[in-house]
């Protein structure tokens, strides 16, 4: 109906504003979309909330960002399988990133761990690699270098399986940081060099594919 179409248009507009860097208008557009939704518009509500979360994150309003993403998880709990798990993963990663910004690293780890678990259930290798990488970053921030190393290794392994060179580059950087923290400078240098090689390969492949 007209209400659903109008809500979808506001969400589309919010996405465009986000891409243009006009984050305030993006947030306002997604709010208008959300206000047009009813409780039956399960996926549309999640799209609106995810859009709000992205806009608030860019604006640096992390409390509002956290609130938006938590609403998605609350909605998921109330409707169960009616909401596709991809929205839960988006919310978990968004919450984790926001918690990192306000230095709540332990809570961030919980959200990233849940995202990883959901990605493994769905067989989504790209998200598995990203979530493992983020868990590595959080563990490193908490100076849990052994744990960080494990997560970076997992991220590298999954990235290698799906031939994601940029993912391999990032995981190698994280692993190198762990070696550096352990004062193992020889292995740190080796991994930084490996990261540069993977990053260069990713750039070459991107250039070869063209726009």
Each domain of the chain, given as residue ranges in start order, spans 143-211
Give CA separation, 89 vs 107, 113, 178, in Å. 15, 10, 27
Please report which confidence band the pLDDT of residue 80 belongs to, taking 50, 70 and 90 as the band edges: confident
Give alpha helix (H) positions in the chain. Answer: 2-20, 23-36, 42-59, 62-79, 85-101, 105-122, 125-141, 145-161, 165-181, 185-209
The class of domain 143-211 in CATH terms is: mainly alpha
pLDDT at site 40: 85
Q: How many CA atoms lie within 13 A of 133 on its CB side?
A: 22
> pLDDT tens across 85-124, in order?
999 999 999 999 999 999 999 999 999 999 999 999 999 9
- Euclidean distance between CA atoms 18 and 21, whole angstroms: 5
Percent of the chain with pLDDT over 70: 98
Tally the residues of the chain.
211
Structure letter (DSSP) for residue 22: -
> pLDDT tens across 17-42, in order?
999 999 999 999 999 999 998 888 88
pLDDT at site 41: 86
Point out the least confidently predicted range of 13-22, 76-85, 147-156: 76-85
pLDDT at site 1: 66
Report yes or no: 162 and 127 within 8 Å, Cβ to Cβ: no
pLDDT at site 211: 56
What's the predicted TM-score (pTM) here? 0.91
Average pLDDT across the chain, whole number? 94
pLDDT at 2 over 80: yes
pLDDT at 208 over 80: no
Percent of the chain with pLDDT over 90: 86
């Amino acid at each position: 109906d007209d209400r659903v179409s109008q809500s979808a248009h506001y969400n589309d507009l919010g996405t465009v504003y986000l891409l243009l860097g006009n984050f305030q208008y993006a947030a306002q557009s997604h709010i208008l979309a959300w206000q047009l939704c009813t409780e039956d518009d399960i996926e549309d509500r999640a799209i609106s909330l995810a859009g709000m979360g992205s806009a608030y994150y860019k604006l640096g309003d992390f409390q509002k960002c956290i609130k938006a993403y938590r609403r998605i998880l609350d909605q998921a709990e109330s409707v169960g399988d009616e909401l596709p798990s991809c929205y839960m993963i988006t919310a978990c990663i968004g919450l984790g990133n926001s918690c990192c910004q306000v230095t709540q690293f332990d809570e961030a780890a919980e959200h990233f761990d849940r995202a990883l678990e959901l990605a493994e259930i769905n067989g989504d290798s790209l998200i598995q690699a990203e979530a493992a990488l983020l868990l590595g970053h959080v563990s490193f921030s908490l100076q849990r270098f052994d744990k960080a190393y494990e997560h970076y290794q997992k991220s590298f392994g999954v990235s290698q399986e799906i031939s994601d060179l940029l993912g391999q580059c990032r995981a190698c950087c994280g692993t190198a940081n762990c070696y550096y923290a352990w004062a193992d400078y020889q292995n740190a240098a080796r991994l930084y060099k490996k990261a540069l090689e993977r990053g260069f390969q990713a750039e070459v492949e991107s250039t070869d594919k063209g726009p």
